[in-house]
């Protein structure tokens, strides 16, 4: 109720030159009530945020390897065998049939390991208005379902759901708050 009054007083076209919205739904809701100059500015990541190809992932985790020495991560992540494998990748070697000469014996290409952990990265300003509880509850539910599915079947690694490693970055007043999940 207060928010609507605030919007009515300060958000009307007489006091603002233009209005920016992050969704079409919000624009439709407010323009049905008022005649506003408006534009949608979708909240999207810049183009340099994209899925990394396996060679970049391999290089990154070889570089990061020494910093990933936390005991809880040592049991959670795959064991690397540098330079042949990293936490998420391994080198693929050409088959004997495809090797044409001794020079081809040196060629290898990093590829993602089938049983790798799924890495989720999210940034936050760690303020009280940013609630991660829903995400953490979903991760705990995923863990329960994954354990039931993975433990209950004798399926191959391709049919199993991956473990998830959630990394939350950022600085702010609640930065040192620890998000912990109960032990399974």
Q: CA 30 to CA 18: how far, in whole Å?
A: 13
Task: Grade residue 95 by pLDDT with cuts at 50, 70 and 90.
Answer: low
Would the pLDDT of 159 be above 50? yes
Average pLDDT, the chain: 77
The full set of domain ranges for the chain reads 2-40, 51-114, 117-184
User: Residue 55's pLDDT is what?
Assistant: 92
Would the pLDDT of 146 be above 80? yes
Which DSSP category does 82 fall into?
A: T
37-87 pLDDT per residue, tens = 778 887 777 788 888 899 999 999 999 988 888 888 888 888 888 888 888
User: Residue 96's pLDDT is what?
Assistant: 57
Task: Grade residue 35 by pLDDT with cuts at 50, 70 and 90.
Answer: low
3-state secondary structure 6-54: HHHHHCCCCCCCCEEECCHHHHHHHHCCCCCCEEECCCCCCCCCCCCCH
Bridge-based pairing of strands 19-21 and 38-40 is: parallel
Least confident range of 2-6, 33-37, 161-165: 33-37
172 vs 13, higher pLDDT:
172
Task: Grade residue 34 by pLDDT with cuts at 50, 70 and 90.
Answer: low
Mean pLDDT computed over 75-100: 78
Return the SS3 of 95.
coil
145 vs 24, higher pLDDT:
145
Q: Residues 116, 160: contact at Cβ < 8 Å? A: no
Would the pLDDT of 144 be above 50? yes
User: Residue 58's pLDDT is what?
Assistant: 92
179 vs 36, higher pLDDT:
36
């Amino acid at each position: 109720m207060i928010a609507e009054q605030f919007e009515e007083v300060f958000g009307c076209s007489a006091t603002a030159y233009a209005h920016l919205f992050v969704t079409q739904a919000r624009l439709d809701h407010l323009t049905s009530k008022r005649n506003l100059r408006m534009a949608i500015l979708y909240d999207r990541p810049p183009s340099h945020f994209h899925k990394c190809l396996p060679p970049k992932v391999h290089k990154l985790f070889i570089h990061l390897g020494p910093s990933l020495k936390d005991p809880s991560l040592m049991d959670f992540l795959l064991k690397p065998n540098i330079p042949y494998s990293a936490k998420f990748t391994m080198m693929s070697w050409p088959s004997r049939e495809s090797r044409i000469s001794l020079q081809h014996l040196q060629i290898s290409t990093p590829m993602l390991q089938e049983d790798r952990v799924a890495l989720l990265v999210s940034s936050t300003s760690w303020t009280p208005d940013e609630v991660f509880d829903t995400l953490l509850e979903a991760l705990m539910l995923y863990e329960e379902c994954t354990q039931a599915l993975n433990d209950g079947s004798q399926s191959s690694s391709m049919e199993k759901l991956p473990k998830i490693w959630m990394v939350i970055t950022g600085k702010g007043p609640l930065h040192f708050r620890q998000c912990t999940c109960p032990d399974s």
